[in-house]
Amino acid sequence: MYLVLENLVKTFTSRGGVGEVNAVDGVSLSIAQGDLVTLLGPSGCGKTTTLRLIAGFEFPNSGQILLDGAPINDLPPHQRGMSMVFQSYAIFPHLNVFENIAYGLDVQKRPRDEIKRRVARVLELVELTGLENRAPNQLSGGQQQRVALARALVMEPKVLLMDEPLSNLDAKLREQMRTEIRRIQKRLGITSVYVTHDQVEAMTLSDQIVVMNQGKIVQIGTPDEIYRRPRTRFVADFIGQANFIEGTVRQRRGDHLVIETLGGVLAAPVSSDGFAVGEQATVVVRPEMVEINPPQPVFNGIVRRAAYLGNVIEYDVEIAGRLLALVERDPRRMTLHPEGTQVGLRFLEDCLYVLPR
């Protein structure tokens, strides 16, 4: 592995000045060269502190960071071969686009011809060619973010670090920029670590997602694994929307459990052994994993809320006294069912998931 974190611990004094808080608590992570890995979690989970440890802006109380097999714990940030894109862009207002991007190369006293060549290359990469002489206040938010990205890329870093770089953009521009970041990262094949609290961002960008909570890693996996096979209730609830249905195990059928719940039975995949007949189990049901008024419904429910959003219809449907959040995405079937309507339901059983014990 190219970038390795071994049992990192970072402790800060608590706000009251009494005691200590483990902002990063035993974090171990291995990142392959060329991968984009996202650290994802709620505020205060330790993801930004972990990124700052990698960058060298903070030093761990214990543990080790290895880059291409060599320890870098004691190296200052400018000797780690890394570049960072910040949430605030940190563009110099008194320098034009070219000068902002070239700043790091100027500090290194690179030859002028080399600076012009490298800046021209990244300007083309981030699609800012022709704007070299613009002042920052003449740029849109998206263009300013591209300048910040170009300034990091022009240094040709071994690792690119990004700390919530899109959080100051509006929703549509954020969507465009995350597509651009992924395109550029894949084209360059640059190892990248990206911090965000936005699960859509993480799902869109990542080769691997690292979900963190309270300073610890709770799950590592591809976007598909994290979404479809969460290991804990926290992960299932944080990544997307989820309904949690409690039921009683009635039998095991291969890699599925037959569970009695909501006045009926359903079969759901399970990844772990050990569930006994009669034991309680929790099934993760995503809103899109239930069909509304299918040809052969299995459950019945009553619509308690309906919201038409154009591309989807959101419902709250009551089944056996339990309220489930559901969505209808198929444009061929998107007929709004008003509140109070009785509807038939069928769970897409192979898409459900029983949480591990």
Eight-class DSSP state of 11: E
pLDDT reported for residue 341 = 95
**Which residue segments constitute the domains of the chain, with CATH numbers given?**
3-237 (3.40.50.300), 241-354 (2.40.50.100)
By CB atoms closer than 10 A (0-12, 13-18, 19+), residue 152 is buried
Structure tokens at 124: 């083309």
The Cβ of residue 257 has, within 10 Å, a number of other Cβ atoms equal to: 23
The H-assigned helical ranges of 56-195 are: 97-107, 112-125, 141-153, 171-188
pLDDT reported for residue 66 = 97
pLDDT digits 0-9 by tens, 103-149: 999 999 999 999 999 999 999 999 899 999 999 999 988 899 899 99
* Overall average pLDDT of the 82-110 stretch: 91
Asked if 25 and 9 touch (Cβ cutoff 8 Å), the reply is: yes
Q: Is the pLDDT of residue 56 over 80?
A: yes
pLDDT reported for residue 20 = 85
What is d(CA 85, CA 153) in angstroms, rounded to the nearest whole number? 9
Work out the angle at residue 85's Cα, subtended by the Cα atoms of residues 15 and 230, and round it to the nearest 5 degrees.
70
CA distances for 24 relative to 66, 103, 354, angstroms: 17, 32, 30
Work out the angle at residue 137's Cα, subtended by the Cα atoms of residues 133 and 142, and round it to the nearest 5 degrees.
90
- Per-residue confidence band for 41, with pLDDT thresholds at 50, 70 and 90: very high
pTM of the model: 0.91
